[in-house]
Amino acid sequence: MQKLIKELEEANIGTTLIDEPLANHTTWKIGGPADILIEPTDKNALARSMKLIYKHKVPWTVLGRGSNMLVRDGGIRGVVFKLADGFNHLNFNGEEIEVGAGYSFIRLAVMAGKEGLTGLEFAGGIPGTVGGAVYMNAGAHGSDVSRILKHAEVLLENGELVTFTPDDLAFRYRHSILQEIKGIVTGAVFQLSYGDRKEIARHMAEYKDRRRHTQPLSMPCAGSVFRNPPGDHAGRLIESAGLKGFRVGGAQISERHANFIVNCGNATAQDVLDLMEQAMEIVEQRFQVKLVPEVLVVGEG
């Protein structure tokens, strides 16, 4: 590992942090240390570092803004990539938007609306980055990434940059092929269309207002914890089971939205996992429905 660290530093790839607590980089404010955390300056630096990691056969994980992710208390072995400022560009070309993987998905929706472009309104309440949204086929309000993505640029673990179409990504509900193969989204192009600015603004305002009144935005959380089962909502099932406010250690099922788990100030990853497990068991007992986690659980216990 020390040889890899030295080679990474010599390659001038950006910021390299050793034994960095990932609680500092996740929206849940939870997570043990990464052996190495890299914030590459751009996609070329990312490719150089990936080639070194591939050569040394060191495992790696990618982190955007740390939403929709639970890092276990033992942290993550190997390298964690955090795509930050070097992946934060945005360009408009008529009805197409070319955007970096580190760009905020919510801000992208806002900027598209200001340009009079419709199709991204659903993203106005989805935390995280463009890269994470593509990876998860993020969606809300009856739409998702698969409906507007033209193509995405992906860095494979051998250091090769390739372009993936929606067909290549094999999208389905909260899923893409990137959950099965090793690759990092570096950027995406979305195909939108011109619409009525007032209508776009009205929809955005409605979604923002709904989010403000129904989600626990003032507390550390990671977005929706469970996927919605077919024809139902995970939050409704958890609430109907009487679990709103239920707590394990420092982790609590939100009083505001039952499909959110909040960190009350000192939660561990194990607290969250235990709470998730209990919610899954009780919902299955009461309603014969198996809840499937939407958050990604990574790292060691």
Burial of 70 (0-12, 13-18, 19+ CB in 10 A): buried
The reply to whether 147 belongs to the active site is no
List the catalytic residue out of 20, 39, 121, 294.
294
Burial of 248 (0-12, 13-18, 19+ CB in 10 A): buried
End-to-end CA distance of the chain: 21
List the catalytic residue out of 48, 65, 174, 176.
174
The reply to whether 7 belongs to the active site is no
Can you tell me the distance from the alpha carbon of 135 to that of 142, in angstroms, rounded to the nearest whole number?
A: 18
Token pair of 287, please?
């309603």
Q: Are residues 254 and 223 in contact, defined by beta-carbon separation less than 8 angstroms?
A: no
Can you tell me the distance from the alpha carbon of 46 to that of 38, in angstroms, rounded to the nearest whole number?
A: 9
Burial of 266 (0-12, 13-18, 19+ CB in 10 A): exposed
List the catalytic residue out of 224, 227, 247, 281.
224
The reply to whether 294 belongs to the active site is yes
Which are the catalytic amino acids? Answer: 174, 224, 294
